Amino acid sequence: MNLLFDAIAWILDPANWSGAGSIPQRLWEHVSITAVVLVIASAIALPTGALIGHTGRGREPAVRVSGGLRALPTLGVLTLFGIWLGIGLTAPVIALVILAVPPLLAGAYAGFESVDRRTIDAARAVGMRESQIVGKVELPLGLPIVVGGIRSATLQIIATATLAAYIADEGFGRFIFQGLRTRDYAEMLGGSILVIILALVIDGLFAIMQRLVVPAGVRASRTRELRSRPTRSRAVVGQPITEGNQE
């Protein structure tokens, strides 16, 4: 337990709260690199995922690519980009984007796919354009799952940004590697605690957001769902009704 007290003392030490490499500076770095990576990765993955979920085309390759990317060891990707691009922020940013794309992509297509095909069919039957179906039906109904994907991607970025301090001078991870080199366990543990708090806070914010984006009508049905599950057929999920049904 002494170790834990040392770490807390290290966190509370005013000397660590100002100047170069202080806790606020590292926090800012950690949060801003996470935000930048999230924005870039979202710009790539979310529209792609929405397109796949809406059309049902390219689902198999997307599953395979995002599954395959998940098997990529993060440290391997980081170090590889590290020796290619040298010390600086470019390498970790690129590596982090690559690693954040799979959960975002999976969340986006799963969200769009989760919408009952009959609801979409009905929207088309009353005369909605494809763009209106995407914007007014699929997006609001699939949003909770999409946000779920953003949530896990963000946690992944925060975790990997910690590790990225191995190849770049950024974020809370620096405390861990600094402490490791100087055999200062209090600093290592202190840095770890800060990262854990950051991750849990962000996760909590996303949990709240995920609840808020559930459309009211869907929330209303939740209580009923316990008794009577919707009879959505998994068999038709992912197969768009482009040609009409065949009875």
Residues 155-214 touching other proteins, rule: CB under 8 A, are 155, 158-159, 162-163, 166-167, 173, 176-177, 180, 185, 188-189, 191-193, 195-196, 199-200, 203
Q: What phi, psi does 146 have (nearest 5°)?
A: -60, -45
Both tokens of residue 13? 């030490």
Both tokens of residue 101? 């794309």
- Between 47 and 68, CB nearer to other proteins: 68
- Between 18 and 233, CB nearer to other proteins: 233
Counting contacts by CB under 8 A, is residue 216 touching other proteins?
A: yes
Size of the site for other proteins (CB under 8 A): 77
Measured distance CA(97)–CA(44) in Å, rounded = 9
Counting contacts by CB under 8 A, is residue 215 touching other proteins?
A: yes
Kindly state the smallest distance separating residue 42's Cβ from other proteins, in Å.
Answer: 19
Subset of 37-76 contacting other proteins (CB under 8 A): 68, 70-76
User: Angle at the Cα of 226 (from 222 to 227), degrees rounded to 5?
Assistant: 125
Candidate residues 79, 85, 209, 240; the one interacting with other proteins per rule CB under 8 A? 79
- Between 18 and 179, CB nearer to other proteins: 179
DSSP 239: -
Binding mask 3-22 for other proteins (x = CB under 8 A): xx------------------
Evaluated on CA atoms 23, 25, 26, 30, the torsion sign reads positive
Q: Are 129 and 76 in contact (CB under 8 A)?
A: no
- Between 43 and 83, CB nearer to other proteins: 83
CA terminus-to-terminus distance, the chain: 68
- Between 43 and 205, CB nearer to other proteins: 205
> What is the largest distance, in Å, between two alpha-carbon atoms of the chain?
73
Number of neighbours of residue 236 by Cβ within 10 angstroms = 15
Binding mask 118-147 for other proteins (x = CB under 8 A): xx-xxxxxxxxx--x---xx--xx------
